[in-house]
Amino acid sequence: EAAVTQSPRSKVAVTGGKVTLSCHQTNNHDYMYWYRQDTGHGLRLIHYSYVADSTEKGDIPDGYKASRPSQENFSLILELASLSQTAVYFCASSPGQSNTEVFFGKGTRLTVV
């Protein structure tokens, strides 16, 4: 079965601090994504990547950076965490065609205090 693993599963960060969320997939998928989930906003795309060493901006990239050092790994970086970035973050992967399933990790609950 497709597997997307996120770490950590939860984190408390201080305002202004740096946060790195990690994601690892064993699906051999080209595409990887970072989504943010907030009540009332649903799932919104932050960054995505379709090849190692390259990332693309999604719909809400401000305040976030991404890194794809290999096909399997995709990180989301908050250089200066803010209260408004408190949310649940989901990593996902897919083969890349528009009609194919996207597989999600179990999410990381980030609380910025």
Partner 1 sequence: GDSVTQTEGLVTLTEGLPVMLNCTYQSTYSPFLFWYVQHLNEAPKLLLKSFTDNKRPEHQGFHATLHKSSSSFHLQKSSAQLSDSALYYCACSGGSNAKLTFGKGTKLSVKS
Nearer to partner 1, 15 or 28 (CB): 28
Q: How far apart are CA 41 and CA 60, in angstroms?
A: 12
**3-state SS assignment for residue 20:** strand
61 lies in the site for partner 1, by CB under 8 A: no
Is the peptide bond prior to 8 cis by the omega test (within 30 degrees of 0)? yes
98 touches partner 1 (CB under 8 A) = yes
Q: Which is nearer to partner 1, 86 or 103 (CB)?
A: 103
Cβ closer to partner 1: 45 or 77?
Answer: 45
What are the respective helix, strand and coil percentages of the chain, to the nearest 5? 5, 55, 45
Helix (H, G, I), strand (E, B) or coil at 110: strand
DSSP lists the bridge partners of residue 93 as 32, 103
Binding-residue pattern over the window 20 to 59 for partner 1, x denoting contact by CB under 8 A: -----------x-x-x----xxxxxx--x-x-----x-xx
Asked if residue 65 binds partner 1 (CB under 8 A), the reply is no
Nearer to partner 1, 48 or 74 (CB): 48
